[in-house]
Chains A and B, each alone.
Chain A
Amino acid sequence: MRGYLLGRLLRTLPVVFGVVTVVFLLIHLLPGDPVEIMLGESAAPAQKEELRRELRLDRPILAQYGTYLAGIPRGDLGVSFRSGEPVLGEIARRIPATFLLAATSISVAVLVALPLGVLAAVRRGKGADYLSGIGAMLSLSVPNFLLGPLLVLLFSVRLGLLPVSGYGAGRPLVLPAVTLGTGMAALLTRMVRATLLEELRKEYVTAAIARGLPYRSAVARHALRNALVPVVTALGLSFGAVLAGSVITETIFSWPGIGRLLIQAIDARDYPLVQGCVLVIALFTVAVNLATDILCARLDPRIRYE
Chain B
Amino acid sequence: MDLTTGLRRFLAPAPSFTGGRAANRTRRALIAVLPVFLAAVPWGCAQKLPIDEGRMVIALPGAPVNVDPRVATDAYGEQVLQMTHASLVGRDAAGEMIPDLAERWESPDPLTYVFRLRPGLRFHDGRPLTSADARFTFAWILDAANRSPHRGLYRNVAAIETPDPRTVVFRLTEPFAPFLSTMVRGIVPAGSRARGYAPPAGAGPYRLDDLSPDGEAVLSAFDGYYGGPPAIREVTVKFIPDSNVRFLELRMGSVNFVLNGVDPDLLPAAEEAGRLVVGEGPGGNVTYLGFNLRDRALSDARVRRAIAMAIDREAIVRTIWKGRADLVTSILPPGSWAADPDLPATLFDPARARRLLDEAGFPDPDGEGPLPRLRLTYKTSQNEVRRRVATVIQDQLRRVGVSVEIQSLEWGTFFSDIKRGSFQIYSLTWVGIADPDIFHLAFHSRSVPPDGANRGGYSDAELDRLTDAARRESSREKRRAMYRRVQRILARDLPVVPLWAGRNVLVRDRRLAGFLLTPDESYSSVRGMRIVSLPPTPSIGGRR
- Interface residues in chain A, defined as those with a beta carbon under 8 Å from any beta carbon in chain B: 30-33, 36-45, 47-48, 50-51, 54, 82-85, 90, 93-94, 108, 111-112, 146, 149, 152-167, 170-171, 174, 178, 251-254, 256-257, 260-261, 264, 266-269
With A33-B416, A163-B254 in contact, do A256 and B542 touch (Cβ < 8 Å)?
no
Bound together, the chains give a CA A33 to CA B449 distance in angstroms of 13
Bound together, the chains give a CA A30 to CA B449 distance in angstroms of 19
Residues A164 and B239 in contact, CB atoms below 8 Å apart? no
Residues B249 and A167 in contact, CB atoms below 8 Å apart? no
A262 to nearest B CB, angstroms? 11
Give B507-544 interface residues, CB cut-off 8 Å to A: 541-544
Bound together, the chains give a CA A48 to CA B452 distance in angstroms of 12
Is B144 in the interface zone, CB < 8 Å from A? yes
Residues A156 and B252 in contact, CB atoms below 8 Å apart? yes
Stretch at the interface among B36-44, B223-231, B294-302, B392-400: B36-44
Residues A254 and B151 in contact, CB atoms below 8 Å apart? no
With A32-B415, A32-B416, A157-B11 in contact, do A252 and B450 touch (Cβ < 8 Å)?
no
With A36-B450, A153-B7 in contact, do A111 and B37 touch (Cβ < 8 Å)?
yes
A147 to nearest B CB, angstroms? 11
Binary flags per residue of B401-434, CB closer than 8 Å to A gives 1, else 0: 0000000001111011101100000000000000
Bound together, the chains give a CA A165 to CA B252 distance in angstroms of 11
Residues A254 and B196 in contact, CB atoms below 8 Å apart? no
Question: Which residues on B sit within 8 Å (CB–CB) of A37?
Answer: 412, 415
Residues A149 and B543 in contact, CB atoms below 8 Å apart? no
Is B10 in the interface zone, CB < 8 Å from A? yes
Stretch at the interface among B100-108, B132-140, B210-218, B474-482: B210-218
Residues A254 and B239 in contact, CB atoms below 8 Å apart? yes
Residues B196 and A156 in contact, CB atoms below 8 Å apart? no
Residues A38 and B213 in contact, CB atoms below 8 Å apart? no
Bound together, the chains give a CA A51 to CA B152 distance in angstroms of 12
Give B17-67 interface residues, CB cut-off 8 Å to A: 23, 26-27, 30-31, 35-38, 41-45, 63, 65-66
Question: Which residues on B sit within 8 Å (CB–CB) of A111?
Answer: 35-37
Bound together, the chains give a CA A170 to CA B214 distance in angstroms of 19
Question: Which residues on A sit within 8 Å (CB–CB) of B544?
Answer: 160
Bound together, the chains give a CA A251 to CA B239 distance in angstroms of 10
Stretch at the interface among B163-171, B240-248, B320-328: B240-248
B473 to nearest A CB, angstroms? 20
Residues A31 and B416 in contact, CB atoms below 8 Å apart? yes
Residues A43 and B149 in contact, CB atoms below 8 Å apart? yes
With A83-B65, A83-B66, A85-B197 in contact, do A149 and B30 touch (Cβ < 8 Å)?
no
Bound together, the chains give a CA A146 to CA B1 distance in angstroms of 12
Number of interface residues of B (CB under 8 A): 68
Is B153 in the interface zone, CB < 8 Å from A? yes
Bound together, the chains give a CA A111 to CA B40 distance in angstroms of 14
**A and B contact pairs by CB, cutoff 8 A, 22 listed:** A38-B73, A38-B149, A42-B153, A42-B452, A45-B450, A45-B451, A84-B71, A84-B194, A111-B36, A153-B10, A155-B30, A156-B542, A157-B251, A157-B542, A159-B27, A165-B249, A174-B37, A253-B242, A256-B213, A260-B241, A264-B65, A268-B65
Question: Which residues on A sit within 8 Å (CB–CB) of B65?
Answer: 82-83, 264, 268
Question: Which residues on B sit within 8 Å (CB–CB) of A31?
Answer: 412-413, 416-417, 420
Nearest CB in chain B to that of A48: its residue: B450
With A40-B73, A44-B155, A254-B245 in contact, do A157 and B214 touch (Cβ < 8 Å)?
no
Bound together, the chains give a CA A253 to CA B441 distance in angstroms of 39
Residues B252 and A164 in contact, CB atoms below 8 Å apart? yes
Kindly identify which residue among B41, B144, B241, B412 contacts A174, using a CB–CB cutoff of 8 Å: B41
Residues A269 and B244 in contact, CB atoms below 8 Å apart? no
Residues A256 and B214 in contact, CB atoms below 8 Å apart? yes
Residues B149 and A164 in contact, CB atoms below 8 Å apart? no
Residues B196 and A85 in contact, CB atoms below 8 Å apart? yes
Bound together, the chains give a CA A43 to CA B141 distance in angstroms of 13
Residues A157 and B248 in contact, CB atoms below 8 Å apart? yes
Question: Which residues on A sit within 8 Å (CB–CB) of B254?
Answer: 163-164
Question: Which residues on A sit within 8 Å (CB–CB) of B45?
Answer: 160-161
Residues A146 and B3 in contact, CB atoms below 8 Å apart? yes
Nearest CB in chain B to that of A175: its residue: B38
Residues B416 and A254 in contact, CB atoms below 8 Å apart? no
